[in-house]
Amino acid sequence: MSDTDFRKMVGEKIKGTNASLFLSKCHYVSGAYDCLKDLQSLSTACEQLESEKSKKGANRIFYLAIPPSIFESAAASIKLGAMTTNGWNRIIVEKPFGKDLNSAAQLENAISQYFSEDQIYRIDHYLGKEMVINLMVLRFANSMFEPIWNRNYISSVQITFKETDGVEGRGSYFDEYGIIRDVMQNHLLQILSLIAMETPVSLEAEDIRNEKVKILRCITPLTRKNLLIGQYISDAKGKVIAYKDDQKGGVKKDSLTPTYALATVYIKNPRWAGVPFILKCGKGLDQRKAEMRIQFRKYPTDLFPKLNQDAINELVLRVQPNEAIYWKINTKAPGLSDSIGQSELDLTYRSRFNIETLPDAYERLLLDVMRGDHNLFVRNDELIAAWKVFTPILHELEKLKVKPTLYPFGTRGPEGEVKFLTDLGVIRTASYHWVNPCD
Amino acid sequence: MSDTDFRKMVGEKIKGTNASLFLSKCHYVSGAYDCLKDLQSLSTACEQLESEKSKKGANRIFYLAIPPSIFESAAASIKLGAMTTNGWNRIIVEKPFGKDLNSAAQLENAISQYFSEDQIYRIDHYLGKEMVINLMVLRFANSMFEPIWNRNYISSVQITFKETDGVEGRGSYFDEYGIIRDVMQNHLLQILSLIAMETPVSLEAEDIRNEKVKILRCITPLTRKNLLIGQYISDAKGKVIAYKDDQKGGVKKDSLTPTYALATVYIKNPRWAGVPFILKCGKGLDQRKAEMRIQFRKYPTDLFPKLNQDAINELVLRVQPNEAIYWKINTKAPGLSDSIGQSELDLTYRSRFNIETLPDAYERLLLDVMRGDHNLFVRNDELIAAWKVFTPILHELEKLKVKPTLYPFGTRGPEGEVKFLTDLGVIRTASYHWVNPCD
Amino acid sequence: MSDTDFRKMVGEKIKGTNASLFLSKCHYVSGAYDCLKDLQSLSTACEQLESEKSKKGANRIFYLAIPPSIFESAAASIKLGAMTTNGWNRIIVEKPFGKDLNSAAQLENAISQYFSEDQIYRIDHYLGKEMVINLMVLRFANSMFEPIWNRNYISSVQITFKETDGVEGRGSYFDEYGIIRDVMQNHLLQILSLIAMETPVSLEAEDIRNEKVKILRCITPLTRKNLLIGQYISDAKGKVIAYKDDQKGGVKKDSLTPTYALATVYIKNPRWAGVPFILKCGKGLDQRKAEMRIQFRKYPTDLFPKLNQDAINELVLRVQPNEAIYWKINTKAPGLSDSIGQSELDLTYRSRFNIETLPDAYERLLLDVMRGDHNLFVRNDELIAAWKVFTPILHELEKLKVKPTLYPFGTRGPEGEVKFLTDLGVIRTASYHWVNPCD
Amino acid sequence: MSDTDFRKMVGEKIKGTNASLFLSKCHYVSGAYDCLKDLQSLSTACEQLESEKSKKGANRIFYLAIPPSIFESAAASIKLGAMTTNGWNRIIVEKPFGKDLNSAAQLENAISQYFSEDQIYRIDHYLGKEMVINLMVLRFANSMFEPIWNRNYISSVQITFKETDGVEGRGSYFDEYGIIRDVMQNHLLQILSLIAMETPVSLEAEDIRNEKVKILRCITPLTRKNLLIGQYISDAKGKVIAYKDDQKGGVKKDSLTPTYALATVYIKNPRWAGVPFILKCGKGLDQRKAEMRIQFRKYPTDLFPKLNQDAINELVLRVQPNEAIYWKINTKAPGLSDSIGQSELDLTYRSRFNIETLPDAYERLLLDVMRGDHNLFVRNDELIAAWKVFTPILHELEKLKVKPTLYPFGTRGPEGEVKFLTDLGVIRTASYHWVNPCD
């Protein structure tokens, strides 16, 4: 593919007044990731562009979204063949970061042979979401959350990532990893650590990541009784085929890979001991949304005996779609009656802010790589600590060939979900539905 | 005036489909409040109506909005001449409840000679406001307020009642009482006690009033250094005459009566010790509004050094006009920047609830009298405790002939206000203005 | 009996230098409590003494430790025949204050016919104990208890009153009342209300009693599943006869009266909701002691995995014998080892204070009656609220003829005790024994 | 000096049954620290002993209590000439760790060239004191401290190290360093970080030191207005000469070196923001003692108006002499009076534990080096963070030639101390003196 072909291909997706300027800066060099010679060619191509365009430092970012199997050799090739000496070199690494503790450690060893930690940017694009970035501001630039942000007042925290899509046609990767590795161990655990972390010394990347690691290290490894796994089957109308029937898409026959998982983890520290952090993710569900839901304990008296049992306070941070923060509260129903209704203190982004569209998480993260800001990237020890939480259960599931509970495509997930949550004391607020004020 | 005349007069203000039905139930009997014979005539008239309409119990409410001077004799006349024996008798008493501790005690003695406390309904119509009634629900049916509702987290509480009107033409009553007696000692102090009170044993009237009295008794009497008084003068354009020039309206020449007052009181109990409760009220000001404004301490670190000094959290309960609850918070400005802006978690009634109009405070309170619910009425010992807070300073102002600071009609009040508040650590959020989402 | 005989009898118990002076002030008038004429004679005798000794006010205290059956007529006789008009009259009332809610209300009606509440001193001599009086000082003159004095940090409160004696020979009174009425409903519940109450507005009697009543009203009536009752049988050596065999002493044959009771009550308010308050009392037990034991939750992490499971913090206030306050803490064992032992922060009275003997509770209380201080006496509404907690269960026990669990005299009580406490999460610190530093 | 001479010299200080066994293991090799050849001789001597005594691993500890000037060359000589290859090598480093940030950084660079951080044991012998080690247990194995261990309830923390000795004869070292470098920057700041740190993830050395560093990094550099320095002069009787007259002992003429310092530092984090941590140390004072004194805020009401103004709660941890923990509390004075006195909840080691003598701090620390436990040693980044707090003020004092306030030997220190403390709100409890129960 020539530069022209490449620009044509890319150009189809790019609009706006500066599109052609942008495209003129796009070049394409073909080669195998793990071939030293090809990387040297890439480097030569770069040098040519650099000499043309600038006398100043020429920096390079290598974005590795490649199969784990060739990771080490690709890293070696870059190191030996493609690094600039006239500026900085940065390496973006995409998941999967291994399949378990051992494989992740091997991968880390491989990469750390060639690059130093400050050159490496492990990307978890959930950390680039508007509402996730906002967590630091909400928690540490406001004074009303800190005093209630603990086991005395919070009864549970739910972090949810639901997708309506299945894996149709993309099963070969997914089937090997499953939803726990694909979503829970990274995206959900990263969000958890931001919700739960202590105030850092500063907002520098190392200080924030120090605190995140502390949280991850305080989590007891997940056990069977705290986990519910599911796999979707065909939907009621039979339009979507069952996950395990998708051999064309790459799913193994009789696959036991979960497409849904619900897990409770506990953080053994003074702030959170005993509070269930409930991680929920799945494909082929009824709804597409990602959110954090912090449920507060009831007011400890019975002054309002008629109050619904589900009239508890919840702080919801909606990540996508339609970013919003809302805090469910009980208020007197306006007027002469003395009945109490649930309402909310609301901050819906599109209703409050004059925004057309928010930048995509990747835009933000790539910008941060250019700025050299590691804040929103995963550090080596975070990764290891995260794997320690999930590796024992992943091995157990595989060894014992545990069967996931089946659920029809397009539903809320396996039947056991309600009981699982109720047993944890989670209250489902059936009598209340948030209405997006923008709708 | 005959019943017909009376109905005609009243009927001019009454609309709606049931207006004529309502009017048919209205009757008029003329007489002097303090004349036993006239009250007996009233009683006779009542009995006639009662016998016509019902065999069941005939209840009577006596609404006393009369000058204090004839209070005792009116009470005696009612007691001796107009009480039903075929149902309950209830007495609504309108302010003023005396001019100071002694006169209030005298009035109470007079009334308690003739009526028992459970027959008496001292009305403070602010207690009938939607948002004021809601305070009990907000505080005790939600769990997130209680842990932060104290001196550790709240830096100040402001209770404000501003009017744009002056006293034109109604000066004879006002000039004798002044703004402290007319608004602060009753309306503002009542709201204060609802904000500050401990959780009651139940929501029964006596339990709530027990807690309110406790708060009032913990307040140290107001002193000079915690008080700023003002009096309005003519406005810039000269359209409104200065308060003290309104002799036609009943104001005494060279009157020192304040039309504005700003006071700080302290509640000496474990929850509130050291927290300034700032009461502000005035006539002839720039704005008409009544609200409670709870200001929170800053988050105790410097993680966000660029944060505006005034970017603190405030919970605002707007009583009138346009009922709303909003909690000012700091959030990340949406988008690629990392700057922080102030926004709010909002619950604006007209935007959230499907309401045309809320009932007037008096509608609610009169209904409560009929239902025999004392909850929103002032108890004898509350009244006495409230007078204890203000009586010493009122006497001192009068004895020393303290001159109020002058301020032009239609402005924010006396100049000293800003310094007064700043000295208390109150932060005026100049960089932020709440925008009513309904506007 | 003449004055001389009376003095001789009393004198045998009285020692010290002022004994004869004291005795010379003692007089004796014989009569029936409920006989108006006899009371008039008493009054005449008093007047004689008063006229001799003083021209000033002559005050009278009537101390009623009489059977409930003649209570009303005795009160009437005093009222009509023996009140001074030249000073104050005060009535001390000894328990039993009724047998249940109804009988207590009747008694109260009877007494309130003749005396006003401020003349009445209902005595509960436990309120006169040094350590019980100290509770107000400890809680409200020290700042370190208040923040941890609540459900977030306290796991349980035990109030214990154990006696080694049985009821030999005094069974006729006891058998009718039983240990719940004799000890739990008054002594233990009074101590509970002092431990649990909120900060009063002042230390005036009415303010303290207002707060105590609030606590009592927040207690849910005791139910069967929260109660364990026992009755002692003969001890191992057979020296003491079983309770129900003491017909000579007045015990009814086949009596079901409990000599031991263990009950858990809950206070439904924001400070205490969910915390078990465990009341324990019994006769014929292994130990004589009265104490309050406040058990704290564990530190919510696992930093010291070798720490004994029973190494929790307890604050113990020992009422009798040998007054002491001690707070069990974990400290590093001194020396090179890193093991942790339990020790205590200790304040043993006899070791710290230079005291020979502390005044008896009755000395203190009688002095308070003379001073007119109601602080340590039980108010009418307290009494009623206390009965409301116990009346339903007392009636149920009687109606269903519930059999108490038997336990041998001189032991710890019924076997079920350990399970009862363990089920509540109470930790018995088996590995630790407090050693009185004075022994 | 031969081994025999050495053993004779050492033997004079050693007693006990195992003295000769111990001495038989002592050897002496003479040489210059910074001479490679001499260190090689030492190594040869070691090897000889090792081959004689053991076939197993032969470990070596090098204890560097040497002048900073030859530090680097000594480190090099050890590295090149004296390390075992048959076991571990550990380096103990004694203070001074530099004179300021730069010199400390240089020293660290020098040492880290030759040794890895896990081989280095920077010794601060205060970390080996019984009560200092106990801090971790007290704070994290007991649940009653954590909830009150913060700015809401603690008003100040004082860490004090007072000596009665002057520097007679040892002035040459001291005069160059002064009391801030000699005591405050290391001993007192180390204790501060243990008092103030958050709960670590585990009790592993790195986790604890991570938390200590966080505290140090949150401290704002010390400024002039938060510092009082003093220098002793001759005592009243003229027996001790003034510090600056001790030229024989090595003090420079007109020396401005402080022998006393009192400093306030603030920790800018959510737990401690605004709480003064007061560091006090000095030589030639009235008393020899080291202690931590945690002062609590007053109970926030006025229920006991007669309570002394200084009757606040203090938790005192006495490090030396005579280890003790005591918590000053207010209790009712026993007996009929209602007055309140100050007493204490006490745990005096010698009174409670059966101990003859506690091990010296160095015994403990040397044992820990042998065990390879870094917990009680100072990490590189701690050292740097500690210097950041004091370097600016040390440079300022030197540049501006600030004169210390003079105080007579054997007194409490400079006069300004009382005002300095009072301005911080510290309350000196004049009416109360702790009496050691062992005296």
Question: What rounded mean pLDDT belongs to chain A?
Answer: 91
Residue B322's pLDDT is 86
CB contact under 8 A, D146 and A270: yes
Confidence band of B272 (pLDDT split at 50, 70, 90): very high
Give the nearest chain C residue to D134 (CA atoms). C332
Q: What is the largest CA-CA distance in chain C?
A: 81
Residue C439's pLDDT is 60
Instruction: Kindly give the parts of chain D with pLDDT less than 50.
Output: none
Q: What single DSSP character describes residue B310?
A: T
D319-331 burial string, b = 16+ CB within 10 Å, else e? bbeebbbbbbbbb
Q: Which whole number is the average pLDDT over C18-42?
A: 91
Question: DSSP of C102-121, one letter per residue?
Answer: HHHHHHHHHHHHHS-GGGEE
Residue C39: count of CB within 10 angstroms of its CB = 24
Stretch 347-366 of chain D: residues touching chain C, C-beta under 8 Å: 347, 349, 351-353, 355, 358-359, 363-364
Out of B187, B374, B395, B433, pick the active-site residue: B187
Q: d(Cα B135, Cα B132) in Å, to the nearest integer?
A: 5
Residue A437's pLDDT is 67
Least confident interval from A354-368, B374-388, C217-231: A354-368
Residue D15 CB-density burial (10 A; 0-12 exposed, 13-18 middle, 19+ buried): exposed
Residue D437's pLDDT is 67
Measured between CA atoms, how close is C171 to chain D, in angstroms? 34
Phi, psi angle pair for A93, to nearest 5°: -115, 130
* Cβ of residue B17 closer than 8 Å to a chain A Cβ: no
Stretch 91-130 of chain D: residues touching chain C, C-beta under 8 Å: 130
Confidence band of B34 (pLDDT split at 50, 70, 90): confident
User: Residues B384, B385, B390, B392: what is their CA dihedral angle, to the nearest 10 degrees?
Assistant: 80
Confidence band of B358 (pLDDT split at 50, 70, 90): confident
Q: d(Cα B439, Cα A259) in Å, to the nearest integer?
A: 47
pLDDT of C162 strictly over 90: yes
Give the nearest chain D residue to A202 (CA atoms). D218
pLDDT of C250 strictly over 80: yes
Percent of chain A with pLDDT over 90: 70
Chains A, B: CB contacts under 8 A, how many? 166
Q: Which whole number is the average pLDDT over B14-33?
A: 89
Measured between CA atoms, how close is B134 to chain D, in angstroms? 29
CB contact under 8 A, B299 and A345: no
pLDDT of A358 strictly over 90: no
Of C152, C269, C301, the CB nearest to A301: C269
CB contact under 8 A, D270 and B300: yes
Residue D438's pLDDT is 60
D346, B200, D329: which is closest to C139 by C-alpha? D329
Give the residues across from D411 on adjacent strands: D285
Residue A81's pLDDT is 92
Q: Which whole number is the average pLDDT over B248-271?
A: 95
Q: d(Cα B348, Cα B345) in Å, to the nearest integer?
A: 10
* Cβ of residue A305 closer than 8 Å to a chain C Cβ: no
Confidence band of A38 (pLDDT split at 50, 70, 90): very high
Q: What residues contact residue C16 under an 8 Å CB cut-off, 6+ apart?
A: none
Which chain D residues contact residue C297 at CB under 8 A? 143
Give the nearest chain B residue to A316 (CA atoms). B345
- The model's pLDDT over C118-146, given as tens digits with 9 standing for 90+, comes to 999 999 998 999 999 999 999 999 999 99
**How distant, in Å, are the alpha carbons of A181, A188, A280, A414, D305 from that of A231?**
15, 19, 14, 8, 70
Q: d(Cα C16, Cα C8) in Å, to the nearest integer?
A: 15
Give the nearest chain A residue to C302 (CA atoms). A268
- The model's pLDDT over A306-323, given as tens digits with 9 standing for 90+, comes to 888 888 999 999 998 888
Confidence band of B430 (pLDDT split at 50, 70, 90): low
pLDDT of C434 strictly over 80: no
Q: Which whole number is the average pLDDT over B258-276?
A: 97
Stretch 240-269 of chain D: residues touching chain C, C-beta under 8 Å: none
Give the nearest chain A residue to D213 (CA atoms). A201
**How distant, in Å, are the alpha carbons of A128, C92, C281, D221, D251 from that of D281?**
50, 61, 54, 18, 19
* Cβ of residue B345 closer than 8 Å to a chain A Cβ: yes
What are the E-state strand segments in C181-256? 227-233
Q: d(Cα B74, Cα B71) in Å, to the nearest integer?
A: 5
- The complex scores an ipTM of 0.93
Task: Specify whether B187 is catalytic.
Answer: yes
* Cβ of residue B273 closer than 8 Å to a chain C Cβ: no
**Chains in contact with B, where contact requires at least 3 CB pairs less than 8 Å apart:** A, C, D
Q: d(Cα A367, Cα A121) in Å, to the nearest integer?
A: 12
Give the residues across from B207 on adjacent strands: none
pLDDT of A435 strictly over 80: no
Q: Which amino acid is at C399?
A: K
Residue A299's pLDDT is 93
Q: Which whole number is the average pLDDT over C33-50?
A: 91
Q: Which helix (H) or strand (E) holds D295?
A: strand D289-296
Q: Which whole number is the average pLDDT over B86-97?
A: 92
Q: Which helix (H) or strand (E) holds B52?
A: helix B36-53
CB contact under 8 A, C270 and A301: yes
- The model's pLDDT over B293-338, given as tens digits with 9 standing for 90+, comes to 999 999 999 899 888 888 899 999 999 888 899 999 999 988 888 8
Q: Which amino acid is at D397?
A: L
Residue D78's pLDDT is 95
Of A146, A315, A330, the CB nearest to B141: A330
- The model's pLDDT over A215-261, given as tens digits with 9 standing for 90+, comes to 999 999 999 999 999 999 998 888 899 999 999 989 999 999 999 99
Confidence band of A438 (pLDDT split at 50, 70, 90): low
Asked if B104 contacts B177 with a C-beta cutoff of 8 angstroms, the reply is: no
Chain D interface, best mutation among C129, C134, C137, by max D CB count within 10 A = C137
Q: d(Cα B27, Cα B44) in Å, to the nearest integer?
A: 13
pLDDT of A352 strictly over 80: no
Residue D349's pLDDT is 81
Mean pLDDT: which of A62-76, C96-110, C363-377, D275-289 is highest? D275-289
Measured between CA atoms, how close is D195 to chain C, in angstroms? 15
Q: What residues contact residue B116 under an 8 Å CB cut-off, 6+ apart?
A: none
Residue B140's pLDDT is 96
Residue C429's pLDDT is 73
Residue D136's pLDDT is 94
Confidence band of B227 (pLDDT split at 50, 70, 90): very high
Q: Quick one: tokens of C194?
A: 């002092």
CB contact under 8 A, A218 and D201: yes
- The model's pLDDT over B161-206, given as tens digits with 9 standing for 90+, comes to 999 999 987 888 999 999 999 999 999 999 999 999 999 999 999 9
Q: What residues contact residue A414 under an 8 Å CB cut-off, 6+ apart?
A: A228, A230, A260, A404, A405, A406, A407
Q: d(Cα A243, Cα B326) in Å, to the nearest integer?
A: 47
Confidence band of A429 (pLDDT split at 50, 70, 90): confident
* Cβ of residue D217 closer than 8 Å to a chain A Cβ: yes
- The model's pLDDT over B102-127, given as tens digits with 9 standing for 90+, comes to 999 999 998 999 999 999 999 999 89
Of C152, C269, C301, the CB nearest to A152: C152
Residue B170 CB-density burial (10 A; 0-12 exposed, 13-18 middle, 19+ buried): middle
pLDDT of C68 strictly over 90: no
Q: Chain centroid to CA D225: how far?
A: 24
Which chain C residues contact residue A273 at CB under 8 A? 300-301
**How distant, in Å, are the alpha carbons of A335, B75, B218, B375, D418 from that of B105?**
35, 15, 20, 22, 51
